[in-house]
Structure 1
Amino acid sequence: MRIGYQGVAGSYSEATLQDYIKTLTDTTTEIVPVPYGDFKSVVNDLLDDKLDLIVVPVENSTTGIIARVTDLLRYKPVMAIAEAYQPVRHTLWGVEGSRLEDIQMVYSHPEALSQCQVFFNSYPLIESKVYEDTAKAASYIQILNRRDTAAIASPRAGELHHLVPLMENVQDESTNTTRFYVIEKIQEREYTGSCLSLYVETRHESGALSKLLQVFDIFNCNLQNLSARPIENQPFTYGFFIEVSIKEMRSPVNILIQTLNQVSEYLQIMGQYDQVSKSIYLDD
Structure 2
Amino acid sequence: MDLSLIREDIDKVDKEIIELFQKRMDLCEEVAKYKLSVGKAILDKGREDSKIEKVQTFVDDESMKVALSDLFRQIMSSSRKLQYKFMEQNSATVRAECEIVDKIETQGAKVCYQGIEGAYSYLAMKRYFGEDVDGYNVPTFDAAMKEVAEGRADFAVLPIENSTAGIVNDTYDLLMKYDNYIVADLVYEIDHALLGLPGAKVSDISKVYSHPQGLMQCSHYLDEHLDWDRIATTNTSLGAKKVLADGDIHQAAIASREAAKVFGLEVIASEIRNEKNNATRFVIISKKRSFAKDAKTMSICFEIAHEAGSLYGILSHIKYNGLNMTKIQSRPIEGKMWQWRFYVDFEGNVNDAAVLNAMRGIEAESTYLKFLGNY
- Counterpart in the other structure of 2:334: 232
Q: 1:170 aligns with which of 263, 266, 272?
A: 272
Q: 2:311 aligns with which of 201, 209, 227?
A: 209
Q: Which has the higher strand share?
A: 1
Q: Distance in 2 between matches of 1:200 and 1:241?
A: 7
Alignment of 1:93-172 (within 5 A): 93-172=195-274
Alignment of 1:1-284 (within 5 A): 1-22=109-130, 31-187=133-289, 192=293, 193-246=295-348, 251-273=353-375
1:154 deviates by: 0.2
AA partner of residue 221 (structure 2): F
TM-score calculated relative to the size of structure 2:
0.68
1:203 deviates by: 2.1
AA partner of residue 124 (structure 2): T
Q: Which has the higher helix share?
A: 2
* Relative contact order, higher structure (CA 8 A, sep 6+): 1
- Counterpart in the other structure of 1:279: none
- Counterpart in the other structure of 2:5: none
Q: Distance in 2 between matches of 1:54 and 1:131?
A: 21
Secondary structure of the corresponding residue to residue 74 of structure 1: helix
TM-score calculated relative to the size of structure 1:
0.89
- Contact 1:80–1:183 (8 Å) recurs in 2: yes
Residues 29-63 of structure 1 show CA distances to partners (whole Å, capped at 9, x for unaligned) of x8410201101111112111111111100011011
1:143 deviates by: 1.3
AA partner of residue 16 (structure 1): A
Relative to 1, partners in 2 of residues 1:115 and 1:56: Cα closer, same or farther, differing over 3 Å? same
- Contact 1:4–1:36 (8 Å) recurs in 2: yes
Which protein has the larger Cα radius of gyration, Structure 1 or Structure 2?
A: 2
Secondary structure of the corresponding residue to residue 318 of structure 2: helix
Q: Distance in 2 between matches of 1:130 and 1:190?
A: 36
Identity level (%): 26
- Contact 2:209–2:239 (8 Å) recurs in 1: yes
Pairwise CA RMSD: 1.7
1:22 deviates by: 3.2
Q: How many residues align?
A: 265
Q: Distance in 1 between matches of 2:215 and 2:333?
A: 28
Secondary structure of the corresponding residue to residue 260 of structure 2: helix
Q: Distance in 1 between matches of 2:361 and 2:122?
A: 39
Please list every run of 5 or more consecutive structure 1 residues that lacks an aligned counterpart in the other structure. Answer: 24-29, 274-284
Which moves more between the two structures, 71-80 or 109-118? 71-80
- Contact 1:75–1:268 (8 Å) recurs in 2: no
AA partner of residue 3 (structure 1): V
AA partner of residue 136 (structure 2): V
- Contact 2:115–2:139 (8 Å) recurs in 1: yes
